[in-house]
Structure 1
């Protein structure tokens, strides 16, 4: 699908066809596309918890204040932020060096820089939220391009989600994206403010 058309047609779907399905291969392909999202230092501060089994979706539904869309969607992806993404600094430095972006002699400097930059827990969390949000948007566009509707959700109990799915301490739920077949006919995108209303050039 052409990009502008994709952006115009993506809407938040509240009603999914309970009979709709998504294959493991389709879901993995969509998640693969989501990993192309940008992140600071390419640390990729995200992890995806894909929930497809009926009983697991019901458990997630309960943690999300019983919103029906989670049960009816073919899959629900909990997009997690990774607080310890900076621990991949060595892998990132190796890749940059191998591809000619970073001289071999500067690898240790980069690794130390990243560990120092992310020594603050607030920075870890803020960057994880940003990166996970980029990934979630990319996930939704990829799903739409493959013919699936989506809905981003922040209405859930993070602690309940953590406990229900035994999420490791270094990961935390940022948002949930439901994916499935839209039940309604295609609808127009909701109101958007004009560029003039939302843009200021060169300062206020």
Structure 2
């Protein structure tokens, strides 16, 4: 087992992937399943993952993702999807809570509070979807590193076009794309950029 500190320190956003080195399907599944242990609001898990592997679909994505070469070079690109309706009763996770003893009245109370107080506007619903699915995305990147793979998160894409290409529902968002694969060792990885320190980012109260 890799040390967690080592995983954090060795994870890099890799620009160059070895196009000839594929990802074992078992490993890919384990990475995503491990990542679903990520926390989420009420444990509602308002997320989905599109696994894009075929050259045909990667080419379509490439055209809407600023034509970034890593979209074509990486053996897999993941599209992280957030559901803006994930707190509503249609989410099957609520049924699991009832199976564990919650009442329908309690569930409706949570939902009504979410509708009126937590996520009353479209902007707040989008934030709900983005925040939760981002937790999954970061977990995927660290899980990938645990399995010896490299990643690169991307927000440079036309979301509307990506949703159109992949027939993604209007009430869902494309939080980010993640290129997933193995670093092309023939291409040098640039030194890690400077990180802000504790005193730069922390305000104590």
TM-score bracket, normalised by the shorter chain, equals: 0.7 to 0.9
The within-5 A match list for 1:175-190 is 175-184=176-185, 189-190=192-193
**Tell me, which stretches of 5 or more residues in structure 2 are unaligned?**
none
Contact kept in structure 2, 1:94 and 1:107, CA below 8 Å: no
SS in 2 for 1:20: coil
| 1:109 aligns to 2:109 (yes or no) | yes
| 1:82 aligns to 2:94 (yes or no) | no
- 1:53-79 per-position Cα deviation (integer Å, ceiling 9, x unaligned): 111111111111111001010100011
The worse-fitting range, judged by mean Cα deviation, of 12-21 and 168-177 is 168-177
Distance 1:13 1:83, change over 3 A: same
Q: What is the aligned partner in structure 1 of residue 135 from structure 2?
A: 134
Q: What is the aligned partner in structure 2 of residue 196 from structure 1?
A: 199
The worse-fitting range, judged by mean Cα deviation, of 85-94 and 42-51 is 85-94
Contact kept in structure 2, 1:148 and 1:179, CA below 8 Å: yes
Q: What is the aligned partner in structure 2 of residue 26 from structure 1?
A: 27
- 1:69-102 per-position Cα deviation (integer Å, ceiling 9, x unaligned): 01010100011111111124664444335446x5
CA distance in 2 between counterparts of 1:44 and 1:18 reads 32
- 1:86-119 per-position Cα deviation (integer Å, ceiling 9, x unaligned): 124664444335446x567634433433444444
Q: What is the aligned partner in structure 1 of residue 16 from structure 2?
A: 15
Shift of 1:157: 0.9
SS in 1 for 2:6: helix
TM-score normalized with structure 2 length: 0.87
The worse-fitting range, judged by mean Cα deviation, of 141-150 and 87-96 is 87-96
Shift of 1:137: 0.3
SS in 1 for 2:8: helix
Contact kept in structure 2, 1:43 and 1:89, CA below 8 Å: no
- 1:12-43 per-position Cα deviation (integer Å, ceiling 9, x unaligned): 00000010111222222211122221111222
Distance 1:155 1:90, change over 3 A: closer
| 1:148 aligns to 2:149 (yes or no) | yes
Give the CA RMSD over aligned residues: 2.2
**Tell me, which stretches of 5 or more residues in structure 1 are unaligned?**
none
